[in-house]
Amino acid sequence: MTKSTRNPSELHERREQRLMLLLLAPALLVIVVLLVLPLLWLAWQSIWQDGRFTFAHYERFMTDSVYWLAFLQTFRIAAIVTLLTVVLGYPVAYVAAGAPQRWSILILTMVLLPFWTSVLVRAYAWLILLQRNGIINSALTGSGLIDAPLRLVNNEFGTVIATIHILLPFMVLPLYATMKKIPGELTMAGASLGGSPMHVFLRVFLPLSLPGLIAGMVLVFVLTLGFYITPELLGGGRTYMVSMLVSRNIEVYNEWGAASSISVVLMICVFLVFRLASLLIPFERIMGTR
Amino acid sequence: MSPSKVLLHGFVVLILAWLIIPVLIILPMSFSGARFLAFPPPSWSLRWYESYLGSAAWMQATRVSLIVGVCSAVIATIFGTAAAYALNLTQSRLVRSLQALLLLPLIVPIVITAVGVFLVYAQVGLLASMTGLILANVMLGLPYVVTSVLVGLRKFDPTQEMVSRSLGMNRWRTFFAVTLPQIRPSVISGLLFAFISAIDETVVSLFISGGEYQTLTKKMFTALRDEIDPTIASISSLLTTISFILLMLAALNARNTDRSQGRAT
């Protein structure tokens, strides 16, 4: 008879928890069935083949240069893209956060418009701009600055330009949100105490904007690690990123074991980046849910 | 203004131009009369709009994308709002730890997601089907809805629900009569984000869509990879116009949020 002696508030709490789980169930079900289970399945496939365990798919990371070259190029591109989005994104967020409201809305709209435009549309736009007889090349040759058209696309350069263009909003938005919360009195106090504008910026403003900066860098870096459309369309076969390695192994070679092991390693890289970043700022902060 | 400030503002104007111009350049290209992509176009015409609107294949792909976009956005909004509501109210740590799971689709590289969904669909026979496309996009849209609605719920005072329930309304009616009207802007913005993400989704549909149920983005992607057909310029212009209208709607929606908050405080 222990059940009936339970106090009503405890019973209520258990009912409450059951209701909450019920409300969460549809969303969780979709994500578990379509994402979590397939990830576990991929992990299993990478070590289990023809009825026995094998590490052959992981050994290829040591022996096959295509593998580690793809990872190397992916990490290099991710680092370049992250660095350049900081250089381009920080000033934009800084000016937007300090401007009168009407101007900051205008700036944010200009940042958001490409954000809301299809990734394919933007990849196409960069193809038009950068190709051999494209707008930039004809402007440069027409003005006599160069004699022969430059190779701007179908290489790493084109991929990096288009990737930055697509990911810049992911840097600007968290930076702007953080900078907006920095009280103006703090920088004024710094200036009134005799700090030069540069000094005040470096000692007061920059440290306070660091959480936004880290959040933006993590998002951009991780998203670049998994980028597929821009290297495929603008890389011209010269840019071989990990995501392409995965899709080639399935579409061209039908090598599920290889594709699985590459996916697992890429997933581990992504989790490590988040883990490292969460030592500095909370995970919710990166994802913008707090 | 100090010289360094002028320099800073000049730099920002250049970056903004660099962001906007590639999107705008497509518009004149779409009215070009030439087969090749010269700028400015040597002559003007509507032939690329005709070749898009007159093509049964492009129209079918557009229809598929629109149906997938609307259905998956609505379902993701219902599931996501319910989930956010539970996450916001719960005291249990176990339930709260599930939040990270709901954001997983944003974290997993899209190619891996695509391969995973392909694996599941190959088993249950959902490849190249409308249901499969909608379900996959529900999964991808959920994080946007959950994030947006959670932000809205944080600003909402839960004691209002208790008042309503103590006055005799049940939970269900309380949600629709008291809570939902106040968090409506964040639900709408979640819906818009889920819709845009579904319309824009390319990589997963490259793997799982096909035959009769090919999405617009898959068809565009293959067209771009194989040859640069100016028809893409007309489609891109239309897509950009739609995005622009939705962005304006989202901005209006955000202004309403500010207003309703102003009233509450």
Q: What is the 3-state secondary structure (H, E, C) of A46-97?
A: HHEECCEECCHHHHHHHHCHHHHHHHHHHHHHHHHHHHHHHHHHHHHHHHHH
Strand partners, A48: A53
- Would you tell me how many other CB atoms lie within 10 Å of the CB of residue A120? 24
Identify whether the C-beta of residue B111 lies closer than 8 Å to the C-beta of residue A228.
yes
* Nearest residue, CB atoms, B8 vs list A95, A121, A270: A95
Dist CA A231 CA A117 (whole Å):
18
Sequence letter at residue A23:
L
Burial class (CB in 10 A: 0-12, 13-18, 19+), B130: middle
What pLDDT does residue A23 have?
92
Q: In the predicted model, what is the mean pLDDT of residues B243-257?
A: 78
Dist CA B55 CA A60 (whole Å):
46
Dist CA B222 CA B224 (whole Å):
5
Identify whether the C-beta of residue A240 lies closer than 8 Å to the C-beta of residue A73.
yes
Strand partners, B77: none
Tens digits of residue pLDDT in A182-227: 887 777 787 778 778 788 888 888 888 899 999 999 999 999 999 9
What pLDDT does residue A52 have?
82
From A287, A232, A266, select the one nearest B112 (Cα to Cα). A266
Crossing angle of helices A101-115 and B3-30, rounded to 10°: 40
Q: Does B100 sit within 8 Å of A24, measured CB to CB?
A: no
What average pLDDT is seen over chain B? Answer: 87
Tallying the residues shown for chain B, one arrives at: 265
What pLDDT does residue A184 have?
79
pLDDT bucket at B38, cuts 50 / 70 / 90: low
Tens digits of residue pLDDT in A254-272: 888 889 999 999 999 999 9
Q: In the predicted model, what is the mean pLDDT of residues B237-243?
A: 87
Q: Give the range with max mean pLDDT: A106-115, B23-32, B92-101, B127-136.
A: B127-136
Identify whether the C-beta of residue B150 lies closer than 8 Å to the C-beta of residue B240.
no
Q: Does A21 sit within 8 Å of B22, measured CB to CB?
A: no
Identify whether the C-beta of residue A134 lies closer than 8 Å to the C-beta of residue A83.
no
Percentages helix, strand, coil for chain A (3-state, rounded to 5) are: 80, 0, 20
What pLDDT does residue B264 have?
43
- Chain B contact probe: residue of A9, A21, A35 with most B CBs at under 10 A: A35
Dist CA B145 CA A31 (whole Å):
14
Closest CA–CA distance from residue B260 to any residue of chain A (Å): 19
Q: What is the pTM of this model?
A: 0.88
Dist CA B1 CA A205 (whole Å):
20
Q: In the predicted model, what is the mean pLDDT of residues B175-179?
A: 87
What pLDDT does residue B263 have?
46
pLDDT bucket at B4, cuts 50 / 70 / 90: confident
Dist CA B204 CA B194 (whole Å):
15
* Nearest residue, CB atoms, B19 vs list A26, A41, A168: A168
- Chain B contact probe: residue of A124, A179, A263 with most B CBs at under 10 A: A124
For the record, the structure tokens of A136 come out as 């930039």
Strand A52-53 and strand A48-49: pairing? antiparallel
Q: Which residues of A fall within a CB distance of 8 Å from B251?
A: 105, 109
Q: Three-state SS for B32?
A: strand
Q: What are phi and psi of A150, to 5 degrees?
A: -80, 155
Q: Does A197 sit within 8 Å of B16, measured CB to CB?
A: no
- What ipTM was predicted for this assembly? 0.87
Scan for tokens 């309304």, then name that residue.
Answer: B169
* Nearest residue, CB atoms, B22 vs list A94, A111, A126: A126
Q: Does B220 sit within 8 Å of A114, measured CB to CB?
A: no
Q: Minimal Cα distance from B199: which residue of A? A: A118
Strand partners, A52: A49
Dist CA A199 CA B125 (whole Å):
63
CA distances from A71 to A141, A226, A269, B221, B237 (A): 36, 11, 10, 24, 35
Q: In the predicted model, what is the mean pLDDT of residues B95-102?
A: 84
Query: Does position A290 have pLDDT exceeding 60, yes or no?
Result: no
What pLDDT does residue A1 have?
44
Q: Minimal Cα distance from B111: which residue of A? A: A243
Dist CA B81 CA B152 (whole Å):
10
Dist CA A33 CA A21 (whole Å):
17
Give the contacts of A10 (CB within 8 A, at least 6 positions apart). Answer: none
Q: Which residues of B fall within a CB distance of 8 Å from A33?
A: 120
Percentage of chain B lying above the pLDDT 70 cut: 94
Tens digits of residue pLDDT in A120-153: 888 888 888 888 777 787 777 777 777 777 777 7
CA atoms lying within 13 Å on the CB side of residue B142: 30
Identify whether the C-beta of residue B148 lies closer than 8 Å to the C-beta of residue B106.
no
For chain B, domains (ranges, CATH) are 47-264 (1.10.3720.10)
| Sequence-distant contacts of B155-160: CB under 8 A, at least 24 apart | B155/B261, B155/B264, B156/B182, B156/B183, B158/B88, B158/B89
What average pLDDT is seen over chain A? Answer: 86
Sequence letter at residue A31:
I
Query: Does position B27 have pLDDT exceeding 50, yes or no?
Result: yes
